[in-house]
Structure 1
Amino acid sequence: MHCDNPPFAIQADYSVEQLNEQAKTRILVIDDEESIRYAVDAGLDFLGDYDVHFAEDGAKGIEGLKTLSPDLVLVDLVLPTVGGMGILEAIRKDPDINRPDRVVLMTGHSNPFDEEHMDDVGIDKILSKPFKLEQLKSALFD
């Protein structure tokens, strides 16, 4: 049965582009080293189509966590303004921050955490710098 005058109208509130943007995994990278931000950006661009955002210090990272509600977060351990541990604490305790699906701690130092302590501070994976593309992929998606 075909109806020329439907009893209701469907109005789209979003364009196709906006819906595609919403479907992308949103990733926040918090690192003060431009070379690391560039490497992560290039790696993620190679791995797929993600909505990637960057913060170059801890305070901007916390603001990004509040405004972006990212799905995945990569955070450096040593940062200006607020360090990585402060960001992890904010993720756990700040009611204005939605807990990301995955939190990856990046560090150029030896791993300071065992598995049990990682759970306590809210880390899902640790990514040692420098890293290869396969290590980035594994830390984020495995």
Structure 2
Amino acid sequence: MPAAAALHVLVVDDQQTIRSLVRNSLQQLGVREIREASDGEIALREIITRPAHLVISDYNMPNLDGLGLLRAIRAHPPVQTTAFIMLTGRADRELVQRAVQFGVNNYLVKPFTVAQLKEKLEAVFGPLT
């Protein structure tokens, strides 16, 4: 994968504080192109209009949850290969299995550290330079 600075990321969470935390963590890793959405419906419109390399999405959101967003992205051919990391406060097996079934690339449990985020990104894209 190219440098972290070349990644385009869409961060989706209904809580502004979490979006800010993810944005700040990504910036510490060198990611510069970061967009945000406050729910899955907004995120889906955003990703179709302006594709990204990666979606980092919360699971539990109003309107369209993270699994619904993942399924919608995987069902839309122009963006179906977009990398997707599920961000969740619950690490329960059922959720993880359903996310894997729908094509999630990785998942990150809140709260997380910058090092954990980097590890998840590198598991998807390879070493960040």
In 2 relative to 1, CA 94–49 (structure 1 residues): closer, same or farther, beyond 3 Å? closer
Between structures 1 and 2, the one with greater helix share: 2
Matches for 1:107-118 after TM superposition, within 5 Å: 107-111=88-92, 112-114=95-97, 117-118=98-99
Correspondent of 1:64 among 32, 42, 46 = 46
Higher-Rg structure is 1
Residues 72, 140 of structure 1: 8 Å contact kept:
no
TM-score by length of 1: 0.75
In 2 relative to 1, CA 32–118 (structure 1 residues): closer, same or farther, beyond 3 Å? closer
Matched, 1:73 2:55: yes
In 2 relative to 1, CA 49–88 (structure 1 residues): closer, same or farther, beyond 3 Å? closer
Deviations, residues 19-41 of structure 1 (Å, cap 9, x unaligned): xxxx8210001111111111111
Q: Distance in 2 between matches of 1:92 and 1:113?
A: 16
Runs of 5+ unmatched residues, structure 2 = 124-129
Matches for 1:42-121 after TM superposition, within 5 Å: 42-95=24-77, 97-100=79-82, 102-111=83-92, 112-114=95-97, 117-121=98-102
In 2 relative to 1, CA 93–44 (structure 1 residues): closer, same or farther, beyond 3 Å? same
Matched, 1:25 2:14: no
> What is the number of equivalent residue pairs in this alignment?
117
Q: CA RMSD in A?
A: 1.7
- What is the CA-CA distance between 1:94 and the residue it aligns to? 2.3
SS at match of 1:48: coil
Which structure is higher in RCO with an 8 Å CA cutoff and minimum separation 6?
2
Determine what percentage of the aligned residue pairs are the same residue: 32
Q: For residue 125 of structure 1, what is the aligned residue in structure 2?
A: 106
TM-score by length of 2: 0.82
Q: Distance in 2 between matches of 1:135 and 1:41?
A: 14
SS at match of 1:106: strand
Runs of 5+ unmatched residues, structure 1 = 1-22
Q: Distance in 1 between matches of 2:19 and 2:99?
A: 23
